[in-house]
Structure 1
Amino acid sequence: MSGDERLLMQDVERGLTAAEVAERVANGRTNDVPSRASRSTWDVVRSNVFTRINAIFAVLAVIIFSTGYLLDGLFAGLIVANSVIGIIQELRAKRTLDKLAIVGQVRPRVRRDGKTAEIAPNEVVADDVIEIGPGDQIVVDGEVLEAEAMEVDESLLTGESDLIVKTPGDPVMSGSFVVAGSGAYRATKVGKEAYAAKLAEEAGRFTLVNSELRNGINTILKVITYLLVPAGALSIYNQLSGDQALPDALRGMVAALVPMVPEGLILLTSIAFAVGVVRLGRRQCLVNELPAIEGLARVDVVCADKTGTLTENAMRLTEVRPLSGAGDTDPGVVLAALAVADPRPNASLQAIAEAHPDDPGWRHTAVAPFSSARKWSGASFGEHGNWVLGAPDVLLPADAPERAEAEETGAKGLRVLLLGRAGNAVDAEDAPGQVTPVALVVLEQKIRGDARATLDYFASQGVAVKVISGDNAVSVGAVARSLDLPGADAPVDARTLPDDPEKLADIVENGSVFGRVTPAQKRAMVKALQSRGHTVAMTGDGVNDVLALKDSDIGVAMGAGSPATRSVGQIVLLDNAFATLPHVVGEGRRVIGNIERVANLFLTKTVYSVLLALMVGIPGLIGFDALPYPFLPRHVTIVGWFTIGLPAFVLSLAPNNDRARGGFVGRVMRMAVPAGVVIAVSSFVSYLLVHPGANAGEAAQVQASTTALITLMAIALWVLAIIARPYTWWRLALIVAMIGISALMFLLPLSRKIFLLDPSNLGYTLSGLACAAVGIVLVELGWWIDGWLRQEKRRLTA
């Protein structure tokens, strides 16, 4: 027998020894898959420093520094600022994600040296013996060693929804999960060799892909790119072909090009998401995919499982009610035997085991673990008979009086199970056969203290809540009624739902409470809602929720739920608090609303910069005297600081409870384009009115530039004032501060000297202010008219 063959015949009960584990670690046969949501510090630094925008600014800075006018290169500080801010915020988010990912990660149970212990997934080595049960995820590929009525769902890998029964010798693939039964398997492929390793690695990256907000920004940037090419080329030609000295021409060219680039838009978008991750992390909310923050803010339907979401996962046995079929049988003894027979009891059976801890010593010949699809579990005990425990309305005929009694008890919000003697062995194909009712087992679930407030919040925000549960519909309806959920007085039994997708969509859209829902039906109901244009979030904690969580727009898993559920959830509530969801919605709204405000500022600047470059350059192109660009690079730098940069940073991180709306690109362009056109035309007109001509001295040119700058900054600050609406005290303070600082730039002798400003010509200054006043009126009218045309209520104050 070879060494490998002897290895395969290791003692299954013992597992690997410490020496065997060390040998495999030394040989690199470990599950070395990168951690979720983690990338190296170098990757973070590189992605924030070596960007296209930083490269453009670096080249322009070198050009300016070569002219000797170092102060005109102040915009180069944006390279450092953008990089440092981005790195700090993303490293904060990375640390938060890494810490939470460790808490929320799937921890397989591994046998080593005869003991079973939970370890981190990356500590698994080849040939480890791993125990699995209901809800457990297969973390590495392997071969089944033990199996007791074990059923595995591989639909997340193969797309096939049928459950697969596994027996010793069968293969199991990483990424699949156990639905029922229990067993153990030997790890055969670990690390990057495992089937789902690459999928898991890609799914857990710190990324903004599939974000509607990010996609909208990318669309806008593509349009800007098309505008930058002709405008930039014209600026270069105009400034270098005139009569200016080369250093002055280069300064004008750079001044025209720098403001065309919306340098902070992507940065602030990333920062807003990263700050959201950190804030939610403080609430024990793990965001596996960053767009989920944004996505949940757009959700208009929340499908919530009852158990573990509206009610606490733990249960308490309140009553065992013997029925006429009990005879001399003690139901408590049978329940104790069932609890002992199931190696991985669910919450109901755990509560029964706590109430009946004494093992009667019955030896089981077959076990049928609980399955969400069949709604019952059981065991065969030889001479003691075959016993089942499950839903009365599944195990009994419709006219059974015991079923009616169970319905009446369940209407009070209690969970009622039937203990019955089965006619067939529980592992038979036609199990359980005819069931003789022996007792009703009544369990109590405690409603979460935060459930009502959370449901009220969603109702106030126009978000419909659908309770979708595998429990009895009447019982689920009673719980929902106690929380005042609209529609809870008409619960729907999912067994009556049609298979036709259109009819199903009608019922699900109009109903609120659904009971006896199978895992496949949960998935179908999510798809039905999506087919009607709804954005659907699904919350759950059990293995029966996995498929629906995966197919929903946003999957929210409870931290105490099954490992499989946590692995597919885009958001994991590690403290199991349903009340955390409103905070996630709030973070999403903050990101969406604030980035829209910020985008307006940056794109307005891009529009007026491109148009100014065209208006200055076209006269020289068609034969007129070439105009020098009205601004120096240092001028556009201070405009960027006080009308965009500082206020945009504050606005991007501030609270924002505005409801998320679609049409991000359209709304931004409706504000940015008209405002940009007004600023460009007004500034250009004020510049032409006071321009001294080609033969004027430097002092006259500085006065003309100052006049145009006064016009530009005044209207740009008014645009900021419009975007900051509705006003709160801190927004008004921000606007007043930016106006005050901007005014000081023109009034203080030191700043006038540094930034080459001269407002001393009163006639020029009044001309600039007059042009600004006209521009302000036009921008303000445009904002009100746009609101009137779109029937949107405009508010000045919050």
Structure 2
Amino acid sequence: MNNIHGLTEKEVEERVTKGQVNVLPKAPSRTTAQIIRANLFTSFNALNAILAIAVILAGSPKNALFAGVIITNTLIGIFQEVRAKATLEKLSVLNMAQVKVKRDGEERDISVESLVLDDVIILNPGTKIVADGEVMSLSEVEVDEALLTGEADPVFKEGGNPLYAGSFVVAGSGYAKVTKVGADTYAAKLAEEAKKFKLINSELQTAVNTLFKIIIWLVLPIGVLLVSTQLFFTNSSWQDAVVRAVTGIIGMVPEGLVLLTSATFVVAIIRLSKWNALVQELPATEVLARVDVLCLDKTGTITEGNLRLGEVETIGIYTKEQIDEVLAGIAHAFPVINPTQQAIVSTYTDPPALMITHKIPFSSDKKWMSVTFKERGAWVLGAPEVIIEKMDIAIRERIQQEAEKGRRVLLLAHVEREALMQHHFKNVCVGALLFIEDIIREEAPQALRYFAEEGVTIKVISGDNPVTVAAVAKKAGLVGAENYIDARTLPEEGEAFAELIHQYTVFGRVTPKQKKQMVIALQSKGHTVAMTGDGVNDVLALKEADCGIAMANGSDATKAVAQLVLLDSNFSTLPEVVAEGRRLINNLERVSELFLTKTTYSIMLSLLFGVFLLPFPLQPIQLTLIGTLAIGIPAFFLALRPNKDVVKSQFLKRILSLSIPNGVVLGFSTFAIYLMGRFFSLSLAEMGTLVVLVLGGGSLVVLARVARPYNMMNVSIVLGMITLFILACFFPFTRDWLDLRAVSNEYIVMALVFVLCTWPLIAFLQVSIRKYIR
């Protein structure tokens, strides 16, 4: 072993020239340029930019203030996504491993991406395998491949056996030769399918986008009608006609709703940061709030990933003191320990005064370890069925009982020393049974209980034995944990597969491909699915899920494809994310009523003034005032209210049933006050002032309705906006800036009557529409 020389510098340079270097594939995420393009070049931004330019060319730059939403919305989107990308890349750098190799006969520490084909890696406990390789002769190691296969048990490797990137050495030592690097490794190929960036499926954003598409189609013909009317039939200058036509068009676009959606998501993300949750896509909190099936792994989610020695039960002729002394001696006999040994050492912290004459380390193929003491003879510790060929019925039943509880059972026995040298057992004298158990995360039962109460179905998907997984899940309080199945018995795909996935709660011995198929099967049943994972074996399922949740201590590939990363790998964060999502969605639904009310009345007014060939009475700056005070500012605060209600589907249907009656009442009230002013021969500016009073006042009535149920904060918001609106309309400086004119008191009283009538009219229409929809 010591004569291994490794590659020479010349051989390393030759491989670098050929590109045979362990350069890792880029994470499947958008570049900064792609993020900027995606947020900047949208149809929403394009429409607002064109309208703003038109108003500026018409010589009224103050009326182009509405375009500020382009900059704000774009910056928020770019900031959040770039921030998430930077955090993820920082995590990757922090987790970047160094690898110890042998070159020119010397040991060297090099970076992962400096590794080349045929390099000789030095294997020691804790070594992270960063490229595929092959164990060299005379080397024996135990390797944890959980991140690749999902199985927690270490795998024994000897000369000629393959090693895969993403695994790590837990016991043994030796050398391995690199056989594949970079994109050619098994882990990289498994992650390749997930490389294409996938946007999360957000019902809220889908609804907003659907509305926006419909509105765009309405804007084109109505905009042409309004522009034609203002240019050719109102005797106005082209500049004044353009400004007034733009007012009608921008009112139809719920630009604030897009901004508020992004802003609220960002606020939610900031709030979640205190729970160490990194949201990589803005709508992730919304989707998780809608999730009705959550797929979990056992290790690292329900359990800590460590083992604990539950108890030691003596079953033979030896005393408890003798057994404790022998166990302590075995535990401390080996400098390298696997998780099971670690559990024993944690109990027996002090080595006994026993002299060791011979020892055989544990390996997964033989499933036992042994130590021979000068004073106590030869002892073996391992799987009971391997050590005892004909097991006593009482012992077998005891082992079965503990296995059904999710415990691993080890047998400690005294054996004949001479037979042990040939790896055989003779004259076995049983000493004790050791019960090893997974450590349930302290927060897991409470989190599982939360999801059960909230109607979220949990599916535990693991690479471990299904009986053990089910027992651990039951111990953690998972409802339905007794419904388990070995994934190796599942049909390939199809309806039968989907039915079984829907039927069972716990799945063991699951392959990476099956994890993805399970997610697809659940989605085919109409479920919204979230998937947690930490290993490369979880990547395909994470990508397919409606919301992928990665643990920060997992692989880079999982963190790259997930929408949510738990930075402290803490399962208890998920209920907080769900609660935050519910607050966000339910509040956004309520305040969306304000924005779509504006869209509805703007469409109505544009049609009415266009069809009747009348000059449009509003200017963009006036509509900006109404939108800011009655919608924009209060909506932001109302969207942050506490709200734990279950998220309902059919967002679009419900919100339209509220906003359309609002818009219809405000639209007709506004048109009616305009006609009344025209009847009394008021000037266009005076009629415009009455229109602002009625439309603004009516919008504040809608705000007062949306702000229910009333509390101190909501009442303060409504009263504050009413006060600001009155001051803006009647304070000389702001009145002039808004192009409002002084009108006699009787017209103001008339406008106030119109405003007061909007409440009962809206209530009547909303009730009528709800009855019709049902």
TM-score class normalised by the smaller sequence:
0.7 to 0.9
Q: 1:700 aligns with which of 672, 683, 695?
A: 683
Contact 2:191 2:539 in 1 (8 A): no
Contact 1:304 1:540 in 2 (8 A): yes
Contact 2:134 2:162 in 1 (8 A): yes
Q: What's the counterpart of residue 618 of structure 1?
A: 611
> Given the superposition, is the C-alpha separation of residues 34 and 495 from structure 1 closer, same or farther in structure 2, using an over 3 Å criterion?
closer
Tell me the distance in 1 between the aligned counterparts of 2:204 and 2:389: 52
Q: 2:724 aligns with which of 718, 729, 741?
A: 741
Does 2:638 align with 1:647?
A: no
Contact 1:153 1:179 in 2 (8 A): no
Does 2:695 align with 1:712?
A: yes
Tell me the distance in 2 between the aligned counterparts of 1:560 and 1:246: 64
Of the structure 1 ranges 659-668 and 778-787, higher mean CA displacement relative to structure 2 is found in 778-787
Tell me the distance in 2 between the aligned counterparts of 1:593 and 1:106: 41
Q: What's the counterpart of residue 428 of structure 1?
A: none
Q: What's the counterpart of residue 599 of structure 1?
A: 592
Letter in 2 for 1:230: P
Letter in 2 for 1:263: E
Letter in 1 for 2:59: G
Does 2:761 align with 1:778?
A: yes
Question: For residues 252-302 of structure 1, what are the alpha-carbon distances to aligned partners after superposition, in whole Å with 9 as ceiling and x for unaligned?
Answer: 112122222222333333333344334333322234555543232122244
Q: What's the counterpart of residue 266 of structure 1?
A: 258
Q: 1:66 aligns with which of 57, 64, 76?
A: 57
Q: What's the counterpart of residue 748 of structure 2?
A: 765
Contact 1:392 1:417 in 2 (8 A): no
Deviation at residue 441 of structure 1 after TM alignment: 2.0
Question: For residues 607-644 of structure 1, what are the alpha-carbon distances to aligned partners after superposition, in whole Å with 9 as ceiling and x for unaligned?
Answer: 2212211111112xxxxxx2101201211111221122
Question: For residues 131-178 of structure 1, what are the alpha-carbon distances to aligned partners after superposition, in whole Å with 9 as ceiling and x for unaligned?
Answer: 8999999866x554559688989999xxxxxxx99998899887x879
Question: TM (normalized to structure 2)?
Answer: 0.76
Long gaps (5+) in structure 2: 150-154, 372-376, 416-424
Is the partner of 2:447 in helix, strand or coil?
helix
Of the structure 1 ranges 387-396 and 66-75, higher mean CA displacement relative to structure 2 is found in 387-396
Does 2:583 align with 1:587?
A: no
Question: For residues 20-43 of structure 1, what are the alpha-carbon distances to aligned partners after superposition, in whole Å with 9 as ceiling and x for unaligned?
Answer: 699959999562654675743x66
Long gaps (5+) in structure 1: 1-9, 157-163, 370-375, 423-431, 620-625, 792-798
> Given the superposition, is the C-alpha separation of residues 285 and 67 from structure 1 closer, same or farther in structure 2, using an over 3 Å criterion?
closer
Q: What's the counterpart of residue 732 of structure 1?
A: 715
Does 2:98 align with 1:111?
A: no
> Given the superposition, is the C-alpha separation of residues 378 and 87 from structure 1 closer, same or farther in structure 2, using an over 3 Å criterion?
same
Alignment of 1:519-668 (within 5 A): 519-520=510-511, 523=515, 530=523, 532-539=525-532, 553-560=546-553, 570-619=563-612, 626-668=613-655
Tell me the distance in 2 between the aligned counterparts of 1:290 and 1:674: 31
Q: What's the counterpart of residue 372 of structure 1?
A: none
> Given the superposition, is the C-alpha separation of residues 76 and 535 from structure 1 closer, same or farther in structure 2, using an over 3 Å criterion?
closer
Tell me the distance in 2 between the aligned counterparts of 1:101 and 1:496: 33
Contact 2:133 2:163 in 1 (8 A): yes
Tell me the distance in 2 between the aligned counterparts of 1:715 and 1:282: 40
Letter in 1 for 2:242: L
Alignment of 1:84-483 (within 5 A): 84-100=75-91, 102=93, 107=97, 109=99, 111=101, 142-144=132-134, 146=136, 184=176, 186=178, 188-190=180-182, 196=188, 208-242=199-233, 243-287=235-279, 291-321=283-313, 345=338, 347-352=339-344, 367-368=363-364, 377=367, 389=382, 400-409=393-402, 415-417=408-410, 439-465=432-458, 470=464, 473=467, 477=471, 480=474
Is the partner of 2:278 in helix, strand or coil?
strand
Deviation at residue 229 of structure 1 after TM alignment: 1.2
Q: What RMSD, in angstroms, separates the aligned Cα atoms of the two structures? A: 5.5
Question: For residues 195-240 of structure 1, what are the alpha-carbon distances to aligned partners after superposition, in whole Å with 9 as ceiling and x for unaligned?
Answer: 94896697596x7433333222222222112111111111111111
Letter in 1 for 2:216: T
Question: For residues 560-608 of structure 1, what are the alpha-carbon distances to aligned partners after superposition, in whole Å with 9 as ceiling and x for unaligned?
Answer: 5677876775544332322211111123223322433343333322222
Contact 1:759 1:765 in 2 (8 A): no
Letter in 1 for 2:340: S
Tell me the distance in 1 between the aligned counterparts of 2:584 and 2:142: 48
Question: For residues 88-140 of structure 1, what are the alpha-carbon distances to aligned partners after superposition, in whole Å with 9 as ceiling and x for unaligned?
Answer: 5555545544445555x574755366658796x66766666568999999866
Of the structure 1 ranges 652-661 and 385-394, higher mean CA displacement relative to structure 2 is found in 385-394
Contact 2:666 2:698 in 1 (8 A): yes
Q: What's the counterpart of residue 421 of structure 2?
A: none
Of the structure 1 ranges 781-790 and 586-595, higher mean CA displacement relative to structure 2 is found in 781-790
Of the structure 1 ranges 445-454 and 106-115, higher mean CA displacement relative to structure 2 is found in 106-115
Contact 1:336 1:352 in 2 (8 A): no
Q: 1:55 aligns with which of 32, 46, 50?
A: 46
Deviation at residue 79 of structure 1 after TM alignment: 3.6
Tell me the distance in 2 between the aligned counterparts of 1:566 and 1:70: 46
Letter in 2 for 1:227: L
Q: What's the counterpart of residue 683 of structure 1?
A: 670
Tell me the distance in 1 between the aligned counterparts of 2:510 and 2:389: 22
Tell me the distance in 2 between the aligned counterparts of 1:443 and 1:265: 55
> Given the superposition, is the C-alpha separation of residues 670 and 636 from structure 1 closer, same or farther in structure 2, using an over 3 Å criterion?
same
Tell me the distance in 2 between the aligned counterparts of 1:289 and 1:138: 31
> Given the superposition, is the C-alpha separation of residues 225 and 148 from structure 1 closer, same or farther in structure 2, using an over 3 Å criterion?
same
Is the partner of 2:308 in helix, strand or coil?
strand
Letter in 2 for 1:284: N
Contact 2:28 2:561 in 1 (8 A): no
> Given the superposition, is the C-alpha separation of residues 290 and 203 from structure 1 closer, same or farther in structure 2, using an over 3 Å criterion?
farther
Of the structure 1 ranges 57-66 and 221-230, higher mean CA displacement relative to structure 2 is found in 57-66
Tell me the distance in 2 between the aligned counterparts of 1:637 and 1:773: 22
Is the partner of 2:629 in helix, strand or coil?
helix
Tell me the distance in 2 between the aligned counterparts of 1:560 and 1:258: 48
> Given the superposition, is the C-alpha separation of residues 52 and 411 from structure 1 closer, same or farther in structure 2, using an over 3 Å criterion?
closer
Tell me the distance in 2 between the aligned counterparts of 1:455 and 1:253: 56
Contact 2:194 2:540 in 1 (8 A): no
Tell me the distance in 2 between the aligned counterparts of 1:705 and 1:72: 15
Q: What's the counterpart of residue 4 of structure 1?
A: none
> Given the superposition, is the C-alpha separation of residues 258 and 466 from structure 1 closer, same or farther in structure 2, using an over 3 Å criterion?
closer
Q: What's the counterpart of residue 422 of structure 2?
A: none
Letter in 2 for 1:752: R
Contact 1:339 1:352 in 2 (8 A): no
Contact 1:106 1:567 in 2 (8 A): no
Contact 2:582 2:646 in 1 (8 A): yes
Contact 2:466 2:509 in 1 (8 A): no
Deviation at residue 312 of structure 1 after TM alignment: 3.2
Letter in 1 for 2:585: I
